[in-house]
A and B are shown apart, each in its own frame.
Chain A
Amino acid sequence: MWNNGYMKSPLFKVIAIFLVTLICLYISLPAKLPVKFKVGRYSFDKTLERGNIDLKLGRFSFKRSLDLVLGLDLAGGSHLVFEADLSKIPEGEKATALSSLKEVIERRVNFFGVSEPNVQTSLFEGKSRIIVELPGVSDPRDATALIGQTAQLVFAEVKEIKEGEGEKKTNELPFTFSDLTGADLKKASVVFDNTTGKPSVSLEFTPEGAKKFETLTERNVNKVLPIFLDNEIISAPLVKEKIAGGMAQITGDFTLDEAKKMTIQLNAGALPVPVKLIEQRTVGATLGEESIQRSIQAGLIGLFMVVLFMVLSYGWLGLIASIALFVFAVISLALYKLIPVVLTLPGIAGFLLSVGMAVDSNILIFERFKEERPRRPLREALEVSFGRAWDSIRDANIATLTTAFVLANPFDWGFLHTSGPVRGFAITLALGVGLSMFTGIVVSRNLLRVFVREKNKND
């Protein structure tokens, strides 16, 4: 049992905490850190480079960049909200139309080559919104114009290329667009083939569309009939025979996901949804940079004041609380990078606030300790204080966690805020409060145990 006893010893725990802190400290370092110092004749001038996580264990691989993920307000970028006008879409098709719209907008956004764009839908009291976030785009004019367009679906015919002519006219598109468009398509859906059980895509045309489709297929038997969405081919099925009656099926070697995706794209043309820009927030990169600098400054000064206050009020106990606070800050930063948490300006405020709150558990314990000290020996007084204070700490923090939960709205409930800044604040606050329970209890407690024991030996 020596191993078990060893694990339980406070010294062992303090060493473990120290190691965890070191690892977290490494993670929380910026990617490049220039280090310069001079000791006598030796001078040291090197830039430390922090690597990223790239683990491979058999079949598992875990990769994570260890840079902070900054939100739009810090890194610069555009946050656009569009309102979708679903009034012309039949009641049963609204959900389909909205998911198709999202797909179309995602395609258009990707076309812009923005890194990590984010497209979300939200529903509130019957109003449908599409939220588009474009990091790094500080002039969203082109993007809004492109996103604001209504999706264009059109069927095309392949041009006859006569011998010898093909090479001359390479610039010219080898297609002609027909008059069969998204307006003629009633809807598309995924169906399963009766005999093979494979998924395929079924098309249903309007009466007028059915006539157009009939003549189009008649003309193109044994040829392909490419379908374009926003000038990009989404499918090019081969026409086997003339199709009358307004029902058609695109078969092929599709997976279910592929069939679903094609259906969504076809429906984007069949159920076109006009969108209107109702909200736009753009932050330039310079303002974000300045915000970061100011926040770091505010954080450091605030932290310094807190440490000073704790040491002045509680002496060596305060010093230990300050060490625990440092551990808290380092682990928080490392967690932001590992999870990763998208850091926004209110998010930083949430973090700074949680730094102020993190010492609360220590203060509760120390005040308790002052009361218990005259009644008991030092070590017992400490243990009792920790035990008693824990109830208050737990109860009090649950209240903050509850509110943070409502603010963060993790299940995306439509009747609550889904906005980035509010959520950013709630997430860092909740993480901070949760973590402060750990550092307040585990870290300070074990540090104190070791410290107090050493002191007793010297006595």
Chain B
Amino acid sequence: MINWLKYKYIYFSISLLALSLSIFGLLRWGLKLGVDFTGGVMAEYKLIKNAPTEAITSQIEKELGVNVSSISQVGSDDVYLFRLSNIDENQKEKLNKILKDATNGKVEELRFESVGPSVGPELVKKTIYAVLISSFFILLMVARQFSSFKFGVSAILAMFHDTFILIGSFAWFGRFFSAEVDFLFVTALLTTLSFSVHDTIVVYDRIRELQKKEGGEITSLANRALSETMVRSLNNSFTIIFMLLAMILLGGSTVKWFAAALLVGTISGTYSSPFVAVPLLVVWNSVEEKMRLRRLSK
């Protein structure tokens, strides 16, 4: 049997590195917030190949008097994504006219999203509520299931580890691939919460089963549980990763980053169950044991 827990400080170092990178990314660049958070317009138009985006940008800024954050190509070579500050109906009419002139009337509006400035702060608040409620229920469930506060807290810590890495990864994706944080990212975040715990519960279940059946010292029990569940953990994640990869590679622009967020969550969740949640539990146990012995010897 492999002595997984012998290397627990390596696992902790890997997690620490990932967390530091997340903190670095968040502090250095922050998240690239989408219109759902900042308010503004995001619109997708089918124009012509090699549309004169610079001319269009300056024309929009001059005639509408609004700020154009970016016009970028997405997917096929005649589809462009526009990001601007909020516009009213008259300004939208002007925008349509500019695009019509620039493309000889070949413009087609694929999608138009305009979000007022008051929506973003609400989204943030609702997200925090949702995360808190989910975590609370999950903590309650895990604690009840294993009738142990230690199991519950370790599982939740591993869960926050995954959440944080997911958020941090989007600081990097935002910087290098201009990925934005939107409604769907929030959904992916919450799904990661449950993913993370899903895997942890399977390992904990095994530890508990062995504890009941054979008893003994937690480190060796945990080692056995890890060996017995490792293949299952990896295989299960592979099937999920296949589905997500297919979505990232083939799905449209709307779901691409959503699937990417779920992928980061899945990978981190798979890693954190055996290499964060279980070592945490074991370390906690041994610290507790040492404290008890010290108290006894006094």
Answer yes or no: are A and B bound together in one complex. yes
Interface residues, chain A, CB within 8 Å of chain B?
A: 73, 81, 83, 124-125, 127, 138, 141, 144-145, 277-284, 286-287, 290-291, 294-295, 297-299, 301-303, 305-306, 309-310, 313, 345-346, 348-349, 352-353, 355-357, 359-360, 363-364, 367, 371, 388, 391-392, 395-400, 402-404, 406-407, 415-417, 419, 421-422, 425-426, 429
Task: Count chain B CB atoms within 10 A of each CB in A391, A392, A415 and give the residue with the most.
Answer: A392
Stretch at the interface among B20-28, B126-134, B166-174, B215-223: B126-134
- Decide yes or no: A400 and B190 within 8 Å by CB, A281-B112, A301-B250 being known contacts: no
28 A-B contact pairs sorted by A residue (CB < 8 Å): A81-B119, A280-B112, A280-B113, A280-B115, A281-B111, A282-B109, A283-B110, A283-B111, A287-B110, A291-B255, A294-B250, A298-B250, A301-B246, A302-B244, A309-B235, A352-B243, A353-B191, A353-B244, A357-B240, A371-B228, A395-B145, A396-B197, A396-B201, A403-B194, A417-B130, A421-B184, A425-B187, A425-B191
Cβ-defined contact, B255 with A360, below 8 A: no
Residues of B contacting A141 in the complex (Cβ-Cβ under 8 angstroms):
89, 92
Cβ-defined contact, A302 with B190, below 8 A: no
B231 within 8 A of A: yes
- Decide yes or no: A349 and B247 within 8 Å by CB, A404-B194, A415-B126, A417-B130 being known contacts: yes
Cβ-defined contact, B244 with A356, below 8 A: yes
How far, in Å, is B268 (CB) from chain A's closest CB? 16
Q: How far is the CA of A127 from the CA of B125 in the complex (A)?
A: 14
Cβ-defined contact, B250 with A406, below 8 A: no
- Taken residue by residue from 236 to 275, chain B's Cβ proximity to chain A (1 for < 8 Å, 0 otherwise) reads as 1011111111110111101100110010000000000000
Cβ-defined contact, B252 with A407, below 8 A: no
Q: How far is the CA of A127 from the CA of B251 in the complex (A)?
A: 36
- Decide yes or no: A391 and B138 within 8 Å by CB, A278-B118, A301-B250 being known contacts: no
Residues of B contacting A403 in the complex (Cβ-Cβ under 8 angstroms):
134, 138, 190-191, 193-194
Residues of A contacting B238 in the complex (Cβ-Cβ under 8 angstroms):
309
- Taken residue by residue from 182 to 211, chain B's Cβ proximity to chain A (1 for < 8 Å, 0 otherwise) reads as 011011001101110111011001100100
Return the contact of A286 from the options B89, B110, B198 (Cβ within 8 A). Answer: B110
Task: Count chain A CB atoms within 10 A of each CB in B122, B138, B239, B254 and give the residue with the most.
Answer: B239
- Decide yes or no: A415 and B129 within 8 Å by CB, A127-B118, A294-B252, A403-B134 being known contacts: yes
- Decide yes or no: A355 and B243 within 8 Å by CB, A125-B122, A295-B251, A346-B184 being known contacts: yes
Q: How far is the CA of A357 from the CA of B118 in the complex (A)?
A: 37
Cβ-defined contact, A364 with B197, below 8 A: no
Cβ-defined contact, B239 with A359, below 8 A: yes
7 A-B pairs with the lowest CB-CB distances in the bound complex, closest first: A278-B116, A302-B246, A356-B240, A403-B194, A356-B243, A298-B250, A302-B243
Cβ-defined contact, A298 with B187, below 8 A: no
B137 within 8 A of A: yes
- Decide yes or no: A83 and B118 within 8 Å by CB, A281-B112, A294-B251, A302-B247 being known contacts: yes
Residue in B closest to A305 when the chains form the complex, CB atoms: B242
Residues of A contacting B114 in the complex (Cβ-Cβ under 8 angstroms):
279-281
Which residues of B102-155 are within 8 A (CB) of A? 108-116, 118-119, 122-123, 125-127, 129-130, 133-134, 137-138, 141-142, 145
Residues of A contacting B119 in the complex (Cβ-Cβ under 8 angstroms):
81, 278-279
Residue in B closest to A406 when the chains form the complex, CB atoms: B134
Cβ-defined contact, B251 with A298, below 8 A: yes
How far, in Å, is A297 (CB) from chain B's closest CB? 5
B44 within 8 A of A: yes
Q: How far is the CA of A370 from the CA of B123 in the complex (A)?
A: 47
Residues of A contacting B97 in the complex (Cβ-Cβ under 8 angstroms):
none
Cβ-defined contact, A392 with B129, below 8 A: no
Q: How far is the CA of A230 from the CA of B116 in the complex (A)?
A: 28
Residues of B contacting A415 in the complex (Cβ-Cβ under 8 angstroms):
125-126, 129
